Amino acid sequence: MAAPFLLAQISDPHLGEKAKHGVKSKACLRAVVAALGRVPDPIGAVLVTGDVSEHGSKKEYALARELIGELGVPIYVLPGNHDDRATMRASFGIPGEGDAVIDYAVDLGPLRLVVIDSMIPGEDRGGFDQGQLERFDGELAASPKPAIVAMHHPPLVTTMPDWDNVIMPPAEREVLAAVIARHPQVKAIVGGHLHRVTVSTLAGRPVLAAPCTYLPVRPDFGAETVTSYGGPPGFAIHALRGEELATQVEILTDA
Ligand SMILES: [Fe+2]
Ligand SMILES: [Fe+2]
């Protein structure tokens, strides 16, 4: 049987954030990259779903490139609420101008990665403008290839009050769902931002908030403020074979 195509997903490295709860962001990303390096199967590409840096600085992005670059595979990034579009764009050679939204689609062998930028500068919550959604619809219409849609703010509801104030608002989820409903080849929608593995659905497709590399958040459905802790980093691997996609999540309890 043919080997699957593997897309690794790293999220929320927050490089440049000061050490908290006894852990360092750089060491966490290093541990994730090392663990990905130990996966015996070839990884086709790495997707980093935002909050790559804490302060959006050139130095933090250069460090991200250096650390993740050790895997020797193409790296695809998108902005989170801690990122700076213009600096991220310049650092990773992303097409487009300055601080324009970072939306793109790329063919990765048998898999298409379609990125839509959910970052709103100066805000923690996510959203899009109308033009983005129209272009996104066009990108999905352009190819019937199995696709993963990626953004920082996962379009789901957590029922944790503090998180639901800073995720994708219901109206934004609805318009996104209406677009995705028209494109049956979308196999999954993936994001980060929550610093917890969270799974839901949108337009009948799975939605995954991938594990973070830095400072997971504890489950607490009554708390007004989420609590992070120095828990282990993790990553996800999306495996596509033919038309079938499955996602594995790895938490580095030995990191
Ligand atoms: Fe984050
Ligand atoms: Fe975030």
Judged against a pLDDT cut of 70, whether residue 60 lies above it is answered with yes
β-strand pairing of 205-209 with 198-202: antiparallel
Q: What pLDDT score was predicted for residue 17?
A: 94
Q: What pLDDT score was predicted for residue 46?
A: 98
Q: What pLDDT score was predicted for residue 96?
A: 95
The pLDDT tens digits of the residues spanning 6-46 come to 999 999 999 999 999 999 999 999 999 999 999 999 999 99
How close is the Cα of 185 to the center of ligand 2, in Å? Answer: 27
How close is the Cα of 195 to the center of ligand 2, in Å? Answer: 8
How close is the Cα of 71 to the center of ligand 2, in Å? Answer: 24
Distance CA 240, CA 235 (A): 17
Ligand closest to Cα of 217 equals 1
CATH superfamily placement of domain 5-251: Metallo-dependent phosphatases (3.60.21.10)
Give the E-state strand segments of 25-79 in sequence order.
45-48, 75-77
Q: What pLDDT score was predicted for residue 224?
A: 85
Ligand closest to Cα of 80 equals 2
How close is the Cα of 247 to the center of ligand 1, in Å? Answer: 21
How close is the Cα of 242 to the center of ligand 2, in Å? Answer: 32
How close is the Cα of 226 to the center of ligand 2, in Å? Answer: 13
Q: What pLDDT score was predicted for residue 81?
A: 97
How close is the Cα of 65 to the center of ligand 2, in Å? Answer: 19
Judged against a pLDDT cut of 70, whether residue 255 lies above it is answered with no
Q: Which residue ranges make up each domain of the chain?
A: 5-251
The pLDDT tens digits of the residues spanning 67-89 come to 999 999 999 999 999 999 999 99
Q: What pLDDT score was predicted for residue 162?
A: 86
Q: What pLDDT score was predicted for residue 165?
A: 87
65 pLDDT tier (thresholds 50, 70, 90): very high
The pLDDT tens digits of the residues spanning 176-185 come to 999 999 999 9
Residue 24's Cα: distance from chain center in Å?
20
249 pLDDT tier (thresholds 50, 70, 90): very high
Which of the residue ranges 90-99, 173-182, 218-227 would you say has the lowest mean pLDDT?
218-227
Judged against a pLDDT cut of 70, whether residue 245 lies above it is answered with yes
How close is the Cα of 12 to the center of ligand 1, in Å? Answer: 4
How close is the Cα of 144 to the center of ligand 1, in Å? Answer: 32
Tokens 């689609």 label which residue? 105
How close is the Cα of 253 to the center of ligand 1, in Å? Answer: 20
Eight-state DSSP code of residue 42? P
Neighbour tally for 144: CB within 10 Å: 11
Alpha carbon distances (Å) from 80 to 6, 25, 243:
23, 16, 29
Ligand closest to Cα of 153 equals 2
Write out the two tokens for 17: 């954030």
Per-chain mean pLDDT for the chain: 96
Mean local confidence (pLDDT), 209-237: 94
Distance CA 254, CA 106 (A): 34
How close is the Cα of 171 to the center of ligand 1, in Å? Answer: 22
Percent helix, percent strand, percent coil in the chain, to nearest 5: 25, 25, 50
The pLDDT tens digits of the residues spanning 130-171 come to 899 999 999 999 999 999 999 999 999 999 988 898 899 999
Tokens 């650390």 label which residue? 67
Judged against a pLDDT cut of 80, whether residue 254 lies above it is answered with no
